[in-house]
A and B are shown apart, each in its own frame.
Chain A
Amino acid sequence: QVQLVESGGGVVQPGTSLRLSCAASGFIFSDYGMHWVRQAPGKGLEWVAFIWYDGSSKYYADSVRGRFTISRDSSKNTLYLEMNSLRVEDTAVYYCARAGSGGWYLVEYWGQGTLVTVSS
């Protein structure tokens, strides 16, 4: 079965950087696009970024474009999110998710999330 396990969250100060990882298993990682979606405490879901199955294209939400970078290493079955210039409003649980086979926009399977807290 599809398993997605996020790691790398923690407490950081504003302006600093953090890298999240997502270990994927139970499917052919190199066949699927991958998403990052976040959820601030007590708030709704916010799509963050997407990367194509082969890494050839990447899409970002306006709120993170230029600060966050999504990447993948298919040899390690791992998805990454490099977060720079972190802001207090980036505080959230970050979910890694697999796209659907029928369309990249479909957020089909979700990990359990990792909490990022940006605070001084």
Chain B
Amino acid sequence: QSALTQPASVSGSPGQSITISCTGTSSDVGAYKYVSWFQQHPGKAPKLMIYDVTNRPSGVSNRFSGSKSGNTASLTISGLQPEDEADYYCSSYTSSSSVIFGGGTKLTVL
């Protein structure tokens, strides 16, 4: 099964908003409300930022939000801050009783 499709890179200036897309199929993203988003800084473990499409874990800034339409999920970061610069990955449950990740998106804060 191929990875979910994410843009390789996105960028934005401090204070701006950016959106990262995550495209799957009707067997994963489109079929379930089980999409998560992770933030990973260089040399660090990933951190859960969004789960079940729209939910934020305790302690995650409300500048991070998630949505889904059809086979595509999205992560929006508003009020960009320098510390948001990181790699972002989406994941989804699949109909094959597995978990699939996206290829990752490098966010650059200009």
Residues of A with Cβ closer than 8 Å to B?
Answer: 35, 37, 44-47, 50, 59-62, 95, 100, 102-103, 105-113
Q: Given A44-B3, A106-B36, is A100 in contact with B104 using a C-beta cutoff of 8 Å? A: no
Q: Which residues of chain A are near B45, meaning CB under 8 Å?
A: 95, 110-113
Shortest CB-to-CB span from A60 to chain B, Å, is 8
Q: Count residues of B near A (Cβ-Cβ below 8 Å).
A: 24
Q: Which residue of B lies closest to A57 (CB)?
A: B97
Give the A-B pair count, Cβ closer than 8 A. 59
Which single residue of chain B is at the shortest CB-CB distance from A35? B99
Chain B residues with Cβ below 8 Å from A47 are 91, 98-101
CA distance A47 to B89 in the complex (A): 12
Q: Which of A35, A46, A100, A112 contacts B51 (CB 8 A)?
A: A100
Q: B64 interface residue, CB < 8 Å from A?
A: no
> Are A44 and B102 touching (Cβ within 8 A)?
yes
B91 touches A110 (CB 8 A): no
Beyond contacts A45-B101, A107-B48: 9 other A-B pairs, Cβ-Cβ < 8 A, are A44-B104, A45-B104, A61-B98, A102-B51, A103-B34, A103-B93, A105-B93, A107-B46, A108-B57
Give Cα distance in the complex from A111 to B47, angstroms: 10
Q: Is the CB of A44 within 8 A of B101?
A: yes
Report yes or no: B34 in contact with A45, Cβ–Cβ below 8 A.
Answer: no
CA–CA, A54 and B48, complex, Å: 24
Cβ-closest chain A residue relative to B46:
A110
- Taking CB atoms, residues of chain B closer than 8 Å to A108 are 48, 51, 57
State whether A107 and B91 are in contact (beta carbons under 8 Å apart), knowing that A44-B3, A45-B38 are contacts in the complex. Answer: yes
Give the docked Cα–Cα distance between A60 and B1 (Å). 12
How many angstroms from the CA of A110 to the CA of B49 in the assembled complex? 12
Closest to A45 in B: B101
Q: Is the CB of B36 within 8 A of A107?
A: yes
Closest Cβ–Cβ distance, residue B3 to chain A (whole Å): 7
